[in-house]
């Protein structure tokens, strides 16, 4: 498997002005949130990181409607409560653009842990899949994916090291968790699949 893919396109509203995130190899990176509405009316609030040079292409003001092209990335972060897998969009380009919300992605990666098949209390089929998507310098992004219905059945038949291509969207989900006997709200980010296929079967 040689053709790894990782592409995402978003169009939504800038929640607030970008804030400094970190420096890497002498370059400054900034973080902001983008609100992208679904057809259902629900809104995904997605973190985006962009290099200063990319941000300087635009005169950004809070509330601007933006189109973001880039990749879905992951980063392991440790704090007092343990290790967390941070998911975000790494922007390669930003443009001011009006129009309805867009949230489309396509990734091809390798399944790096056994898929978990389950049913919701209402009987809906779900399969959780963790994809490792290679990138430059022998690194990889680890992206949690959700497959539904018929796709969940297909995902349940896959195993570690199988390649998988997913088309779908990046979504945000708020959940509650007890931390030191205190219930706190957290946000999870995951790839929700509209289609999924084994690349070798598509050839």
Would you say 33 and 46 are in contact if contact means Cβ atoms under 8 Å apart? yes
Dihedral of alpha carbons 105, 50, 38, 75, sign: positive
Q: Could you read off the pLDDT of 80-107 as tens digits, one per residue?
A: 666 788 999 999 999 999 999 999 999 9
Report percent pLDDT > 90 for the chain: 75
User: Which pLDDT belongs to residue 82?
Assistant: 67
Q: What is the pairing mode between strands 5-14 and 65-79?
A: antiparallel
Of 169, 189, 147, the residue nearest 10 (C-alpha)? 169
- Give the span between the Cα atoms of 130 and 8, in whole angstroms: 18
Q: Could you read off the pLDDT of 19-46 as tens digits, one per residue?
A: 999 999 999 999 999 999 999 999 999 9
Tell me the average pLDDT of the chain. Answer: 91
Q: Could you read off the pLDDT of 108-142 as tens digits, one per residue?
A: 999 999 999 999 999 999 999 999 999 988 899 99
Total residues belonging to the chain: 203
All structural domains of the chain: 5-99 (2.40.50.140), 106-202 (2.40.50.140)
Tokens found for residue 71: 């990749």
User: Which pLDDT belongs to residue 202?
Assistant: 52
First to last CA, the chain: 12
- pLDDT greater than 60 at residue 2: no
Would you say 68 and 89 are in contact if contact means Cβ atoms under 8 Å apart? yes
Q: Name the one residue in this structure whose structure tokens are 């057809």.
A: 39
Q: What is the pTM of this model?
A: 0.91
Residue 199: exposed, middle, or buried by beta-carbon count in 10 A (0-12, 13-18, 19+)? Answer: middle
Would you say 34 and 69 are in contact if contact means Cβ atoms under 8 Å apart? no
- pLDDT greater than 90 at residue 192: yes
- pLDDT greater than 60 at residue 1: no
User: Which pLDDT belongs to residue 80?
Assistant: 65
């Amino acid at each position: 498997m040689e053709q790894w893919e990782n592409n995402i396109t978003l169009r939504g509203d800038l929640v607030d002005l970008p804030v400094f995130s970190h420096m890497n190899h002498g370059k400054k990176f900034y973080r902001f949130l983008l609100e992208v509405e679904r057809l259902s009316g629900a809104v995904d609030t997605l973190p985006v990181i962009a290099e200063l040079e990319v941000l300087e292409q635009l005169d950004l003001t809070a509330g601007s409607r933006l189109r973001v092209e880039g990749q879905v990335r992951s980063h392991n972060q440790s704090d007092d409560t343990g290790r967390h897998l941070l998911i975000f969009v790494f922007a390669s380009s930003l443009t001011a653009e009006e129009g309805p919300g867009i949230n489309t992605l396509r990734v091809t990666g390798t399944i790096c842990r056994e898929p978990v098949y389950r049913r919701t209390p209402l009987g809906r089929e779900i399969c959780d899949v963790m994809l490792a998507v290679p990138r430059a310098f022998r690194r990889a992004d680890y992206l949690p994916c959700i497959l539904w219905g018929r796709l969940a059945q297909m995902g349940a038949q896959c195993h570690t090291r199988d390649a998988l291509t997913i088309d779908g969207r990046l979504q945000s989900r708020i959940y509650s968790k007890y931390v030191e006997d205190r219930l706190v709200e957290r946000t999870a980010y995951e790839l929700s699949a509209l289609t999924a296929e084994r690349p070798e079967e598509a050839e």
